Every structure is written in structure tokens, then in C-alpha cells.
Amino acid sequence: MKVAVYSRGLDQEQGEPLLLLLRSLAQQQIGVLIYRPLLGQYPLPAEMLRDLTPFQVSEDLTKDVDCLISLGGDGTMLDAVTLVRDSNIPILGINFGRLGFLASIVPEELESAVDALVNRTFLLDKRTLIHVDSNRPLFGNSPFALNEFAIHKRDTSPMIKIHTYLNGEFLNSYWSDGLIVSTPTGSSGYNMSCNGPILFPESASFVITPVAPHNLNVRPIIVADTNVISFEIEGRTDQFICALDARKEIVDKTIQLAVRKEKFCVSLVRLNENSFLSTLRTKLTWGLDKRN
């Protein structure tokens, strides 16, 4: 068995859980690829370093890698998605961040998570990705996202007008600060903070949610993820922001943009006790009533 270990970076006190993870993997005789920049951030014993293979880019993750372990918060998980791409390598998230909605396994569960990998006592959640198409190259070789695609006005510029179409048919013109097209996974993130609905991961839908709309009668709308959603943007400024999860690019308003369901999915490792509903209740205090 072989796993890859990825992190954006760890604080000094988080080095101990990393050491514990690497020792647990070694005890189970699991081969380890480790993200190269991580090696220089925390001193590891020389005898341990000999058994680690550094990796840097997606192409370094070979087909014999059984899992990528993400150490960090949900943002680190989003980075990990761009690393595994269409390789079908599942991602297991260890939460060193705050909320940990995607990376739901706490550091205290490291050893049990390793046992679950070895004994195959875990579940895989297939998650839909969103893909952006444009007439100019955007987002390099990773024009896809797990959470959402968003269009934003720049800084303090006036609101923009976003003409939106479903499969070429006019849907609506949004006068707003921006527009979010969210996957079911992303519906509990930025979309939710803009009063969009929460979707179950298997709902096969996108939700279109305006950001600070200038019309009282404009509300989020859920559409099937078989639709191609395209946009035309008007505004007093010549540029606006395109965001794909945590990545953004400044583009000209004459650009042609569309989003659709990505051709491949990503798999998230889930321990049996961590269901979507339990995560809603514990992480977002869904349904919490102090009277009960």
C-alpha cells in the first residue's frame, strides 16, 4: 500500500501529529510520498527521511498511490483536489484548521484513520466537480473546482450586471456584486453564507446564488447539473474577478464564460461514523435548539 501526504504548511505544534502519522504509516509498512515543501518546514528523524519519497506536482502521483492524506483545513482539501485531478486517488482530510467541514477527521483520530485505510473499513463519497470553459485560458491546467465558481465585481467598483443562460436559453439578469454557481459540496460554504440552500452531496444539482442582489425578488435557484450555464457581464469597469474555489483571476468583461459538470469526480474518504447529517449538526449546529 502507498499513500501521499500533503499540506500547505504546518505550525510548529502541528509537527507532532505529522510525526505520529508518519510513524503509524511506517508501522503498517505503508509506502509514503510526502509533499516536498513540507520536508523543509519540520525536522524529521534521518531514519524516517530515508523511507519518504518527495513529490511536488500532480504528475508525481503515480497510479499505485492508494490515498492522499491532506493535513490542514478545508482550503488544504481544495488544493488536494487539484493535485489528484482525474487520477481517482481518494482524499482523506485531517483537520488542523477551524471548521473542518470537508476535513472532518481530528488529529486525535490519526491512528484509527490509518487502521481504517489498512483494513479498508472506510467509505468513499463521490463528489461532483464544476468545470469552467472560456475563450481564453483560465486557471491553468486545473479549470475545475470542488466547491464553486463565482463572478465578482472588483474592490469598490459599482455592481455588475450578469446575464445568465441555461443551455443558451435566457435565465435572468442579476444586478449584484457577483454570482455563485455552487456544487452540492460547496453549498454549505460561500453559497450558504449568501443565503443559498444546502444541498445533499448526491443531489446532482448546481445552485445559482446572487451576491448582494439589488432586487428583492431575486432568490437562489437550483438547476440540474446536466445544464451548461453561460454568462455575459456588463459593468462600468472593464474588469471583474473570476474565482474557482480559493483561486481567482482578473478578466476582461468581454470574455466568454460558461460552467458545466466536470467529466470526472473526486472521492473523499469518510470514516463510518462521520455522515453528512452528523457533520451538519456538529459543524454548523444545524437544528440546535437550547430548549431541547
Q: Which amino acid is at 3?
A: V
91-128 CB burial, b ≥16 within 10 A, e <16: bbbbbbbeebbbbbbebebbeebbebbeeeebeebebb
C-alpha cell at 2: 502507498
Rounded Cα–Cα distance for residues 172 and 164 (Å): 5
Per-residue cell: 13: 505544534
Per-residue cell: 147? 466547491
Looking at residue 290, the DSSP 8-state letter turns out to be: T
The single residue of 64, 74, 79, 289 carrying the catalytic annotation is 74
Cell numbers at residue 64, please? 499505485
Q: Has 252 been annotated as catalytic?
A: no
Pairing of strands 148-152, 205-211: unpaired
- Give the start-end residues of each E strand in the chain: 2-6, 31-35, 52-55, 67-72, 91-95, 122-127, 130-134, 144-145, 148-152, 160-166, 169-176, 178-182, 205-211, 221-224, 229-234, 239-244, 247-252, 257-261, 266-271
Residue 127: all three cell numbers together = 463528489
Question: Annotated catalytic sites, by residue?
Answer: 74
